[in-house]
Amino acid sequence: MKMWGGRFAEGTAASVEAFTASIHFDARLYRHDIAGSRAHARMLARQGLISEAECALILAGLAEIEGEIERGEFVFRPELEDIHMNIEKSLAERIGPAGEKLHTARSRNDQVALDLRLYLREESRRIMALLAELQGAFVELARRYRQTVMPGYTHLQRAQPVLVAHHMLAYYEMFGRDRARLADGLKRINVLPLGAAALAGTGLPIDREFVAEQLDFPAVSANSMDTVADRDFVIEFAAAAALIQVHLSRLAEELVLWTSEEFSFVTLPDAFCTGSSIMPQKKNPDVPELIRGKSGRVIGHLVALLTLLKGLPLTYNRDLQEDKEPVFDTVDTVAASLTLAAELLAGLRFNEEKLAAALSRGCMTATDLADYLVRKQVPFRQAHAIVGRAVAYALEQGRDVGELSLIELRRFAEIIEEDVFAVLSVSGSVASRRSWGGTAGERVDEAIARAQESLRAEG
């Protein structure tokens, strides 16, 4: 007989049991389920709904079950459907009637909401720590290549020279926003749902604030119907996770491009690449490619969760069982991708000769020439047109605009003087970008120092 089977005249069909069981994936919530049950049992005893002796039996039984699960000795029973019923049934079999009192004043509806919140609180913090490690890897690359210049791109066309450090710190900022999103999401995850019961609350004299204190929740949910129906916090986490994976995918795309023969800007550690089964010369960037590919599954999980929720009336519906697998896989995928990305970056090397060669073509100091003319009081639009003609001339000659002589440059604007060559050099271009957030050396040094201090303060 099912623990909920009192009103049923016949047992559940085997096919239905197989279809509805979730223990094969929600078993990973065992620690969170047991933590919630411990707090609930203590509250029941405090309120006189069970005796102190019964509470002690429950706590001892839960500790025994937790130990068995951790050692791989616990036998999960699919016919008991989920982690909640498996633990509760095992507890009752071990300690008798006291175990059957544990479910007093709660429902699986608020119980699973609690487990998910405890799980996502823990995993959000873990992923935030992994993001900080990845940020640290970018800061270390920025520090290591502090004086190395590379082409900056728009439209995947060479645009302006930037410091490698500046490029790396762009990712530091990107993943910093990801950490901030998770931290903000924790405010909504960190709300106690237990006590909402099935949907209407309970008539028994429970103390929700005590349970919240036991489980370190700073807030208690305000509406019992919303509490058991709410999965916004799950979707918010999935959205933040999808954006993390998208950012990882953008990084991966650059690494794939940069390791190609056409770029050859960077070399990846051999340990993070594979070869070809037929072409002996190949060194394939499989880790970045897989990180890029896994973005699709994480984005897909977000869409699945949004679709799951969109048609559900209040309050709890069994459809919500389908929220866990996407969340679990999202956590696993993002955590693994972040870990591998940080490890890969630690061994990444920039090819400074290739970067220097790339900087010699593309007329990347053309904007600096326009800025030079602006400083000579030429209206920017006129300066833009003048430089455009100079670039066209240089390209016809098979040269870079920075390689033109003073005589040639003065054909386009007589106001140009000998001092123009200071701004037409790559180093001069980089040094001139002193605006806040720019790529000038002193600005990048400041950014590295701020990043290092921030990581130390938060870590």
Residue numbers annotated as active site: 155, 276
Report yes or no: 447 and 424 within 8 Å, Cβ to Cβ. no
Q: Which residues contact 115 (CB under 8 A, 6 or more apart)?
A: 26, 29, 32, 33, 36, 83, 84
Report yes or no: 261 and 284 within 8 Å, Cβ to Cβ. no
Taking the C-alpha atoms of residue 179 and residue 240, their distance in angstroms, rounded to an integer, is 9
Report yes or no: 432 and 441 within 8 Å, Cβ to Cβ. no
Residue 149's beta-bridge partner residues? Answer: 163
AA letter at 454: S
Phi-psi category of 72—alpha, beta or left, where left has phi over 0 and alpha has psi -120 to 50? left
Taking the C-alpha atoms of residue 359 and residue 166, their distance in angstroms, rounded to an integer, is 16
Rounded to 5°, the CA angle 292-296-298 comes to 105
The residue assigned the tokens 């036991």 is 214
The residue assigned the tokens 């909401």 is 113
AA letter at 400: D
Give me the torsion for CA of 256, 261, 263, 266, rounded to 10°: 60
Both structure tokens of 30: 């065992």
Report yes or no: 2 and 8 within 8 Å, Cβ to Cβ. yes
Asked if the bond preceding 274 is cis, omega within 30° of 0, the reply is: no
Taking the C-alpha atoms of residue 185 and residue 236, their distance in angstroms, rounded to an integer, is 7
Report yes or no: 194 and 110 within 8 Å, Cβ to Cβ. yes
Q: Which residues contact 227 (CB under 8 A, 6 or more apart)?
A: 110, 113, 193, 196, 221
Listed in order, strand segments (DSSP E) in 185-318 are 191-192, 219-220, 266-267
Residue 350's beta-bridge partner residues? Answer: 266
292: burial class by Cβ within 10 Å (0-12, 13-18, 19+)? Answer: buried
Q: What is the DSSP string of 193-231?
A: -TT-TTTT--SS---HHHHHHHTT-SEE-S-HHHHHH--
